[in-house]
Structure 1
Amino acid sequence: MGQGKYAKEDEGSSVFVLLCILVLIVGIVAAAGMVMAVLNYNRGGDAPININVDGSDSGGSRGGNADHSYGDSGGSVTPWRQGQSGDYLHYDETIWTFQNGDNDNRVIYIDRKTRQHRGHFIDVINEVCQIAGKNCEIVHSNWRDCWFDGFPQQALLGRWVDGCMGFSISADRVRSLKFSTSTVKATRPVLLTRRGNPSGVNADNLNGIKIGILAGWWADAYCIFRVTGYDIRDNQVFAYNQDDNLNTLVAGLDGGEVDAIFISGGLPRATDGSLELVREFEPCLLGGDSMMMRKDSLLKNWWDPAFNKLVNSRAYREICNDIDDPAAHGSKPGNSAADTCVNL
């Protein structure tokens, strides 16, 4: 009898323990379900991404406009939510940063009233980030922070920014860095001299001709060799630092230090009529102005598909029209829309 009593007590204790374990498991499963529901709700929110790349709350003159239609879908979409394949993107908290300076031309300049960046590059960044569903910001710095004297600089190597906008794809640069698809058409280099060509500069024979170039630019001695076939000597090349209106280059011409200057045809030239075009050459570049980035960057993975979608949209035609529109960017010097936009 005594053994039966203890046996029943042991059996009751086991049942109680099993019930406690079962209640604990049910509680854990219920708590996990609640956590997953909260996470899924937070990730699937419909709040739009504000792309403040030009200092405005909506991401610029066009960046915050949700009425743009992209591709051939025939209707308006919300670009910050719809992916390239039609799937919907989750909110991306990553902030992508892009360097821009002040070239005071149609592609990039500082607005005198707002003191914020404006220009075709800013319009493109706004639209691409909106299509891709990315949170983007502009970082103001000198272009030399990205590339100078044949080498990448601290803005990219030090990870100040994710990309540097408006750098042409050259053979020297692709050795160290990676580029997006060309954002604008490749620019033709030009050989200029003083009015009347007193030095008798002949593009077919540069032997003994002293040529001024801009330090750090793609229109360099290597480019001269590619477009002319002449392997120019070091003592024939004079590198000048860039300043407004190419004053140092023109001063070098006027002072007789150089006989000609070799520059990008897209740069603003002196307006006093002191320069004469010797020849405009075919591009020596591998591609036009692009987004330049580190080789380990994932930026290209989403930038290129979004930019290609933009190029085939009504929004791209509008921002290209703004290049020539005096009410937008047309009052600034620089290339026309036909010489800038990749599909015109």
Structure 2
Amino acid sequence: MSIPHVTIVLLCAAALRGVNAFEIYNPVYTGMDDGLFHPGGGPASRGSILPTLLIRAMDGDLEGRLPNSLTSALSSRRVPVPLLRAVISRHMPEIQTQESGFFRSIMASRHTQETMLRDLVLFKMTLSEMGKAFLRGAVEQKEGRKYTFGTHLQVGKPYEYIDEHGRLTGFLFDFIDEVCKVAKRNCVLQHSPFYDCNFVQGEHLAAGKGLLSGKYDMCLSWFNTSERRLSVSFTQPFWSFQNSGSFLVKKGNPDNFNPNDIEGEKIGFIHHLSSNPTCLRTAKSIVGAHSFSDENAVVLEVLNVIPKDFETNKVEAVFMYPSTNLYNPDEFDIIGEAVPCSEKAELGGFTRKGYELKWFDEAFEEMKKSGKYYKLCKETERKHGSRASCL
């Protein structure tokens, strides 16, 4: 156990007991506390299980030679601060002479208790977050936490679809299952409505309520765009997929919509897609695209476009990426140039800001190094009818 790790153990133990760590070690430092440790000390309201585990972790570095009375005093919630300080002071000489790596290193570089305490102050400002992380990790291990992943099922075969038996399946399900096995995490993947993960709020994209509330730990099968990065955090991409916008018109284009000149035209956009007005405005060769006004943009609150949507919303065309999961090719045509709507044509997942699942990307990297990821890609054709476009 390294010096910083043991220091954190001591501070976390104090915090879990509701004790001012600086008051415990030396009253001189009490004035430096800003309320982080509940000034004044006294019996803590929390149980003694977690503090005891922390003390045992520290005791492991001492090879089991931490005095029993000191272990009991540090882990008990009934020992008042003055008595706890007295117990520590009593055993300090004994601890300092132990032949453990930690205390030998401490005493070799820090000859007085006072200089060591100054170093503890450096951890003071970050203790709150460290404590939260420790508790979160302890709870997850204790309860066997289950991570929930949501997907919208609009990409289709071979990535995500419902088979003839009514089961959710596809490359994405195989991929998430393998990532969680590598990471030794308990995971579940389920269907999630678009608005639970990402939706349009006024003129901007925002994180959905399902993601923000913790209903989903991660939403899958989304393109990484600059707009979305303002409200969510993306993982590494899992596979490549076309992400461009084209114009959808009724079969045969009976209204003679000109995809090369949209000046003054009413254009529809599906609310959750990255093929939005911002993307359309990047089209250099389409007249009226750069100056396209939000007044002429109509957001369609639909998952699948039908001919009636054109009359109901009074639009000339719908700008969207040409996925047949979103429209019936017998009723519509896709015309005009394909306008790229993200920096890269790659799909990945995202989490809410400040809740990045680092273990996910780490497990994915391990899969790529071991070849498991590429093996899954090859097996997709046999299992799901066509090969996945892996990176």
Could you say whether these structures have the same fold, taking a TM-score greater than 0.5 normalized by the shorter chain as the test?
Answer: yes
Which structure: greater helix fraction? 2
- Aligned pair in 2 of structure 1 residues 176, 188: CA closer, same or farther (>3 Å)? same
Amino acid at match of 1:166: S
Q: Check the 8 A contact 1:196/1:276 in 2, yes or no.
A: no
Q: Does 1:279 align with 2:337?
A: yes
Q: Provide the C-alpha distance between the structure 2 equivalents of 1:93 and 1:285, rounded to a whole number of angstroms.
A: 38
1:105 to 125, 146, 156: 156
Q: Provide the C-alpha distance between the structure 2 equivalents of 1:210 and 1:312, rounded to a whole number of angstroms.
A: 49
Q: CA deviation at 1:148?
A: 1.3
Using the aligned pairs only, state the percent identity.
23
Residues 236-315 of structure 1 aligned to structure 2 (within 5 Å): 236-244=296-304, 246-247=305-306, 250-253=307-310, 257-268=314-325, 269-272=327-330, 274-285=332-343, 288-299=346-357, 301-311=358-368, 314-315=371-372
- Aligned pair in 2 of structure 1 residues 279, 120: CA closer, same or farther (>3 Å)? same
Q: CA deviation at 1:318?
A: 4.0
Q: Provide the C-alpha distance between the structure 2 equivalents of 1:139 and 1:309, rounded to a whole number of angstroms.
A: 24
Corresponding pairs, count: 247
Q: Provide the C-alpha distance between the structure 2 equivalents of 1:101 and 1:231, rounded to a whole number of angstroms.
A: 32
Q: Check the 8 A contact 1:92/1:134 in 2, yes or no.
A: no
Q: Check the 8 A contact 1:170/1:287 in 2, yes or no.
A: no
Q: Check the 8 A contact 2:298/2:313 in 1, yes or no.
A: no
Q: CA deviation at 1:120?
A: 1.9
- Aligned pair in 2 of structure 1 residues 218, 209: CA closer, same or farther (>3 Å)? same
Q: Which runs of 4+ in 1 moved over 6 A?
A: none
Q: Provide the C-alpha distance between the structure 1 equivalents of 2:262 and 2:361, rounded to a whole number of angstroms.
A: 40
Query: Which segments of 5 or more consecutive residues in structure 1 lack a partner in the other structure?
Result: 1-24, 33-89, 331-335
Task: Give per-residue Cα distances to partners, 1:187-234, cap 9 Å, x unaligned.
Answer: 222223334444444444321222221012211111111234523112
Q: CA deviation at 1:138?
A: 2.2
Q: Does 1:171 align with 2:171?
A: no
Q: Does 1:214 align with 2:263?
A: no
Task: Give per-residue Cα distances to partners, 1:163-202, cap 9 Å, x unaligned.
Answer: 1111221222111110101122252222233344444444
Q: CA deviation at 1:154?
A: 1.8
Aligned partner of residue 217 in structure 1, secondary structure: coil
Q: Provide the C-alpha distance between the structure 1 equivalents of 2:142 and 2:363, rounded to a whole number of angstroms.
A: 17
Aligned partner of residue 281 in structure 2, secondary structure: helix
TM-score (norm 1): 0.61
Q: Check the 8 A contact 2:194/2:272 in 1, yes or no.
A: no
Query: Which segments of 5 or more consecutive residues in structure 2 lack a partner in the other structure?
Result: 1-64, 73-140
- Residue of structure 2 in register with 1:51 after alignment: none
Aligned partner of residue 122 in structure 1, secondary structure: helix
- Aligned pair in 2 of structure 1 residues 324, 271: CA closer, same or farther (>3 Å)? farther
- Residue of structure 1 in register with 2:20 after alignment: none
- Aligned pair in 2 of structure 1 residues 281, 189: CA closer, same or farther (>3 Å)? same
Q: Provide the C-alpha distance between the structure 2 equivalents of 1:199 and 1:309, rounded to a whole number of angstroms.
A: 53
- Residue of structure 1 in register with 2:208 after alignment: 153
Q: Check the 8 A contact 1:178/1:293 in 2, yes or no.
A: yes
Q: Check the 8 A contact 1:97/1:163 in 2, yes or no.
A: yes
Task: Give per-residue Cα distances to partners, 1:41-84, cap 9 Å, x unaligned.
Answer: xxxxxxxxxxxxxxxxxxxxxxxxxxxxxxxxxxxxxxxxxxxx
Q: CA deviation at 1:28?
A: 5.6
Q: CA deviation at 1:262?
A: 1.0
Provide the aligned C-alpha RMSD in A. 3.3
Q: Check the 8 A contact 1:168/1:285 in 2, yes or no.
A: no
Deviates more, 1:102-111 or 1:233-242: 102-111
- Aligned pair in 2 of structure 1 residues 158, 110: CA closer, same or farther (>3 Å)? same
- Aligned pair in 2 of structure 1 residues 181, 231: CA closer, same or farther (>3 Å)? farther
Q: CA deviation at 1:287?
A: 6.0
Q: Check the 8 A contact 1:147/1:153 in 2, yes or no.
A: yes
